[in-house]
Structure 1
Amino acid sequence: MNTVAIYARYSTDMQREASIEDQIRLCTERAEKEGWQVAGGYSDHGISGASLLRPGVQGLLSDARARKFDIVLAESIDRLSRDQEDIAHIYKRLSFEDIRIVTLSEGEVNELHIGLKGTMGALFLKDLADKTRRGMRGRVEAGKSGGGNAYGYDVVRRVDANGEAVRGDRTINEVEAGVVRRIFNEYAAGKSPRALAHMLNNDKIPGPSGKGWGPSTINGNRHRGTGILNNEIYVGRLVWNRLRYIKDPETGKRVSRLNDKSEWVIHDLPELRIIDQDLWDQVKARQGALKACITGQNSPGMWDCRRPRYLFSGLMKCGVCGDGAIQVNSERIGCAAARNKGTCDNLLTIRREDLEALVLDGLGKHMMDPALTEVFCQHYAQTMNRLVAEHNATFHTKRIELDKIERDLDKLVQAILDGVPGNQVKSKMNELESRKELLQRQLLDVKEMPVLLHPNMAGYYREKIEQLREALSDETMRERAVEVVRSLIDRIELTPIGEEGKKIPSISLQGRLAGILALATDTQKPPLKDGFDDESVKLVAGVGFEPTTFRL
């Protein structure tokens, strides 16, 4: 007597779990009619036929190798698989073991069934995917969710006047929205995704999946729009179809691919905004700076872009050979080449705590020396005033031209109302309208630029340095303070001076003019924008005021 294994699958597109019992019952009746002995049953509940990674079908193939049955019986071929490659694989595996496949729909299965039915199953899956995407796009075009839900929002469940379920609506979950704001604020202040994950887990805050937080949940992928920090729904912008998912033929698992921007569907949903634009821009700026550090033209790579272990890690250099100065033991700083290679004779070391104190003291007392600062401010203001005047002149010229075009258009409209044939003024109106649109685009984000220079810049700078020194001893503010302090420094050189046997380390500090200006003018970045770049600073960096070097 032939032994038979029954396979049944409940597909996600059928949405009827009772289907499994129906299939098994019909197959059992067929086996009894044929006089076959049922050796066992295999089933997969709620799993698509597009994947072969199903426990039921894997168990079936495993037992087939052990020859526990002679026939596999199913309702139809597409219950075994809807994928052309997978159904051919199953057929070849079972044929090798001399096991037949019989279905209630097709009878005994042969190569012709595999080819035709496999193709039909693949076409069915493609058609189903197209219909599903079409329906999802329709919901997105109406400003509703295209599937799934983001952390910080609740799904709104309601019915319309006809009793039909209305799907795709969301509302802000204020508790989770508070967590989202906290993540953005802490990241903008200098915390890493790993530190944020630890902080949230220590505070017993459940993650999006209901479990703990991980760095990738927060950071995600900036270009793919994944992760809390990259989800544009938090600024009221719904982006759908950014990614597409395809099955890896080697593993059977889905992998994501980034679609071209022309395929994205974007809608503004201001009622769902959680993060204000300034905070979003700060986060994007910090992500961009980290990316530039890793991939820039002269980038040191990921290893050197990591968070510094000590306050001035990576900024210290040997003044003799130019190699890095490192922590040679638990307390002291010295030349790496002298210690590790023996290629430098600078064996002098200095306590790390003393070095940090001297540099911080130098930043406050020497970097913005009042006498030099006065000369610098004079030249800086002259150069910036010239740049601002050129910028504002261009702005006003375009503004005047736009006003004139609007007056000319009004005159042409009045001429038509007075009886002048429209075809006589049509070309002129089109020309003016095109020029008007161009000027409006150019002036959209352009504003008059004042010179942002604090009258007591040196004093204000020293006050900020003192605040930073205090913040360095406060654990809640240290990470951000470290970033600001490091933004003021390009290089710290350690050079031995004095007679042989009595040498002491001399510290040469080179500062970043852009960072100094940012701190001195109380801005997030130096007072350069709307077309002004670092060239503006270079024009005055060496005139009268030399912020780059002094010795301690």
Structure 2
Amino acid sequence: MKVALYARYSSDNQRDASIEDQLRLCRSYAERQGWRIVDSYSDRAISGSSLLRPGVQDLIADGLKRRFDVILTESLDRLSRDQEDIAGFYKRMCFAGVAIVTLSEGEVSELHIGLKGTMGALYLKDLADKTRRGLRGRVEEGKSGGGLCYGYEVVKQTAANGEATRGDRRINAAEAAVVRRIFSAYLGGASSRRIAWELNDEGVPGPQGSAWGASTIHGNPKRGTGILNNELYIGRLIWNRLRYVKDPDTGKRVSRLNPESEWVIQEVPELRIVDQDLWDAVKARQKAFALTPEETEEVDGNILTDRRRPKHLFAGLVKCGCCGGGYSMISKDLLGCSAARNKGTCGNLRNIRRDSLEASVLNGLRAHLMEPALFKEFCEEFTREMNRLRMEQSSEIAGRRKELERVQRELDRAVQAILDGVPGSQLKDKIGKLEARKAELTGMLASATEPPPLLHPNMAEVYRQRIAALHERLQSEETKAEAANILRGLVNQITLQPDGNGLAIVLRGDLAAMLSFAANTKKPGLRGETGLVCDRGSQASLVAGAGFEPAAFRL
């Protein structure tokens, strides 16, 4: 039996040696069972509330490849404490024929998944409730209930019992002066972008030592984020304004605004940095520039043009070739480097008209991307290889169906032999093996998916024709929105690099999406079938230009 070991601990406060302790116990158990250890996996200081951990993701990937027969860990909650995740993990390993054994529960079954999954979820909820209760008590004492705000520093002191006290803060004089400067400059008419630019130009470090940005200063007034909205600067400590929930698909935390009735507010006048008059004047200026509900409905007026510009065709995909930051709309028709204009940390001040960029990218997709003969050769080779693999998959499924029919015929003959008087004891072992093989084949066929249709042998030409048709659909108002979504799915990134007096464009596309587009299917089954598409969910990229090297074409 080939076995893989897994260990995890969840907190930075735990010892790193905890991993070795878990692995040592698992090794001893494996040796007593006579199992051969082929690999070990671990995750350090990562919560078990999600499967988005590098160690467990490697474990799943190798398990599906049948690199081992058994997964051995200290307990089931080391793998995951989430009910959905642990059930999905168990289901995938059962499909791969990999057993899960823990030192606490033994061999894991559906019963363990149900009970331990529920216990793990309740543990996380109970831990969250206790943590929030402790934080609330700390806030009601006038101490910090979260991280360190800009303008303050941690006070390290020891209580009478010898334990370190937590949550005490005091004003950092240097940072407090920067906070007051920001408020005064904003009240004096400077925009948050101009303030950030000047601070970065003078080398003033921002929160956590990062560069200043416009959003760092103006933030979101409703959520209390940003320098201009932090009420701690006027001696009001507000806790529980936001709650955080985890997106089940991405595993990322997403903030939600709590009702004001649930906020915990504590007056801490000793932490005041900004005078009340200055604060009130800044709030009045913010309110003067805020959109009213009536204004937000005025989609045809100048207000949204000036303050909330609509997204363009390639919004979010255009990057600066100098700093790697994004290109955003700096006026109604011009795109510019956000870092250069909002932070002053990039020297790329070249602008580009949005319509010129879109026209150049469309021409690149329609012509430049398809120019090299190498792309045609690649499509031909790729098509041949994919079709070969798909035919092999089809023949494998057909072979299993034939074997299942043969096994069923042998079982029928064995049963008939018993009916004819042959002692059942003589056929017991044979029938048992046939029944086991029948169950195995039935399971394989039930979980097998029919291979997708074969790819078109002239994929490169099909791609060229479909891009041309897509270009025509973009010109029509009726089909423009749908065509734009398809087009954005083909482009991964557009990099703008200063070149002489103009800008050079490097267009990078998603190869799997392009092949799907050429095959005229949403799920062509390209991912994971060959080494041409990267493993573990990533996709290969194709760069416009000869030989798949980044080739720039000037505007």
- Give the TM-score of the pair, scaled to structure 1: 0.54
CA distance in 2, matches of 1:20, 1:175: 42
The answer to whether the 8 Å contact 1:294/1:305 transfers is: no
The answer to whether the 8 Å contact 1:7/1:24 transfers is: yes
What are the Cα deviations for residues 141-199 of structure 1, in whole angstroms up to 9, with x where unaligned? Answer: 11111121100001100012222212111100000001111111111222222222221
The answer to whether the 8 Å contact 1:20/1:43 transfers is: yes
| Cα separation, partners in 2 of 1:189 and 1:306, compared to 1, 3 Å | farther
The answer to whether the 8 Å contact 1:244/1:257 transfers is: yes
CA distance in 1, matches of 2:135, 2:231: 19
> 2:154 corresponds to which letter in structure 1?
V
1:127-146 to structure 2, matched below 5 A, reads 127-146=126-145
CA distance in 2, matches of 1:14, 1:305: 46
CA distance in 2, matches of 1:39, 1:302: 61
CA distance in 1, matches of 2:42, 2:294: 50
In the alignment, does 2:264 pair up with 1:262?
A: no
CA distance in 1, matches of 2:266, 2:288: 28
The answer to whether the 8 Å contact 1:293/1:301 transfers is: no
CA distance in 2, matches of 1:293, 1:246: 29
In the alignment, does 2:7 pair up with 1:8?
A: yes
What are the Cα deviations for residues 305-337 of structure 1, in whole angstroms up to 9, with x where unaligned? Answer: 489xxxxx99xxxxxxxxxxxxxxxxxxxxxxx
User: In the alignment, which residue of structure 2 is the partner of 1:177?
Assistant: 176
> 1:302 corresponds to which letter in structure 2?
L
User: In the alignment, which residue of structure 2 is the partner of 1:49?
Assistant: 48
The answer to whether the 8 Å contact 1:238/1:267 transfers is: yes
1:263-342 to structure 2, matched below 5 A, reads 263-292=262-291, 296=295, 300-305=302-307
The answer to whether the 8 Å contact 1:295/1:301 transfers is: no
Quote the offset at 1:294 in angstroms: 8.1
User: In the alignment, which residue of structure 2 is the partner of 1:119?
Assistant: 118
Quote the offset at 1:10 in angstroms: 1.1
- Aligned-residue Cα RMSD (Å) equals 2.0
> 1:95 corresponds to which letter in structure 2?
C
User: In the alignment, which residue of structure 1 is the partner of 2:449?
Assistant: none
Matched residue SS, 1:48: coil
Matched residue SS, 1:239: strand
Quote the offset at 1:271 in angstroms: 0.7
Matched residue SS, 2:208: coil
User: In the alignment, which residue of structure 1 is the partner of 2:228?
Assistant: 229
| Cα separation, partners in 2 of 1:269 and 1:295, compared to 1, 3 Å | farther
User: In the alignment, which residue of structure 2 is the partner of 1:242?
Assistant: 241
1:368-447 to structure 2, matched below 5 A, reads none
Quote the offset at 1:304 in angstroms: 2.4
Quote the offset at 1:303 in angstroms: 2.1
| Cα separation, partners in 2 of 1:189 and 1:302, compared to 1, 3 Å | farther
User: In the alignment, which residue of structure 1 is the partner of 2:318?
Assistant: none
| Cα separation, partners in 2 of 1:17 and 1:264, compared to 1, 3 Å | same
Matched residue SS, 1:165: coil
What are the Cα deviations for residues 466-485 of structure 1, in whole angstroms up to 9, with x where unaligned? Answer: xxxxxxxxxxxxxxxxxxxx
CA distance in 1, matches of 2:161, 2:13: 25
Quote the offset at 1:301 in angstroms: 3.4
CA distance in 2, matches of 1:240, 1:62: 41
CA distance in 2, matches of 1:179, 1:241: 27
Matched residue SS, 1:90: helix
What are the Cα deviations for residues 388-439 of structure 1, in whole angstroms up to 9, with x where unaligned? Answer: xxxxxxxxxxxxxxxxxxxxxxxxxxxxxxxxxxxxxxxxxxxxxxxxxxxx
CA distance in 2, matches of 1:203, 1:72: 56
User: In the alignment, which residue of structure 1 is the partner of 2:151?
Assistant: 152
User: In the alignment, which residue of structure 2 is the partner of 1:108?
Assistant: 107
User: In the alignment, which residue of structure 2 is the partner of 1:367?
Assistant: none
CA distance in 2, matches of 1:258, 1:152: 24
The answer to whether the 8 Å contact 1:294/1:300 transfers is: no
CA distance in 1, matches of 2:238, 2:225: 11
CA distance in 2, matches of 1:216, 1:79: 39
CA distance in 2, matches of 1:259, 1:252: 21
> 1:137 corresponds to which letter in structure 2?
R
| Cα separation, partners in 2 of 1:189 and 1:14, compared to 1, 3 Å | closer
User: In the alignment, which residue of structure 2 is the partner of 1:377?
Assistant: none
> 1:290 corresponds to which letter in structure 2?
F
The answer to whether the 8 Å contact 1:155/1:169 transfers is: yes
CA distance in 2, matches of 1:291, 1:90: 48
The answer to whether the 8 Å contact 1:241/1:263 transfers is: yes
What are the Cα deviations for residues 3-54 of structure 1, in whole angstroms up to 9, with x where unaligned? Answer: 1111100111862322111100001111111111111111111111112211
In the alignment, does 2:175 pair up with 1:162?
A: no
What are the Cα deviations for residues 468-507 of structure 1, in whole angstroms up to 9, with x where unaligned? Answer: xxxxxxxxxxxxxxxxxxxxxxxxxxxxxxxxxxxxxxxx
User: In the alignment, which residue of structure 1 is the partner of 2:31?
Assistant: 32
CA distance in 1, matches of 2:48, 2:247: 15
Quote the offset at 1:76 in angstroms: 0.5
Quote the offset at 1:138 in angstroms: 0.4
Of 292-301 and 150-159, deviating more is 292-301
| Cα separation, partners in 2 of 1:193 and 1:294, compared to 1, 3 Å | farther
CA distance in 2, matches of 1:72, 1:277: 62
> 1:304 corresponds to which letter in structure 2?
D
CA distance in 2, matches of 1:260, 1:16: 39
Report which of the two structures shows the higher radius of gyration computed on alpha carbons.
1
> 2:186 corresponds to which letter in structure 1?
Y
Quote the offset at 1:302 in angstroms: 3.0
CA distance in 2, matches of 1:18, 1:301: 59
The answer to whether the 8 Å contact 1:4/1:73 transfers is: yes
CA distance in 2, matches of 1:164, 1:60: 40
User: In the alignment, which residue of structure 2 is the partner of 1:324?
Assistant: none
Quote the offset at 1:264 in angstroms: 0.4
Quote the offset at 1:112 in angstroms: 0.9
Matched residue SS, 2:274: coil
CA distance in 1, matches of 2:92, 2:218: 44
The answer to whether the 8 Å contact 1:233/1:272 transfers is: yes
User: In the alignment, which residue of structure 2 is the partner of 1:194?
Assistant: 193
Matched residue SS, 2:251: coil
In the alignment, does 2:67 pair up with 1:68?
A: yes
Quote the offset at 1:293 in angstroms: 6.3
Q: State the identity %.
A: 66
CA distance in 2, matches of 1:74, 1:122: 19
CA distance in 2, matches of 1:161, 1:210: 34
> 1:133 corresponds to which letter in structure 2?
R
CA distance in 2, matches of 1:201, 1:293: 32
CA distance in 1, matches of 2:83, 2:241: 28
Quote the offset at 1:295 in angstroms: 5.5
CA distance in 2, matches of 1:88, 1:196: 51
What are the Cα deviations for residues 248-291 of structure 1, in whole angstroms up to 9, with x where unaligned? Answer: 11111111111111110001111100011111112212221221
User: In the alignment, which residue of structure 1 is the partner of 2:215?
Assistant: 216
CA distance in 2, matches of 1:227, 1:115: 44
CA distance in 2, matches of 1:3, 1:215: 55
CA distance in 2, matches of 1:30, 1:118: 24
Matched residue SS, 1:157: coil
| Structure 2, gaps ≥5 residues long | 310-330, 333-555
| Cα separation, partners in 2 of 1:306 and 1:91, compared to 1, 3 Å | closer
> 1:163 corresponds to which letter in structure 2?
G
The answer to whether the 8 Å contact 1:293/1:305 transfers is: no
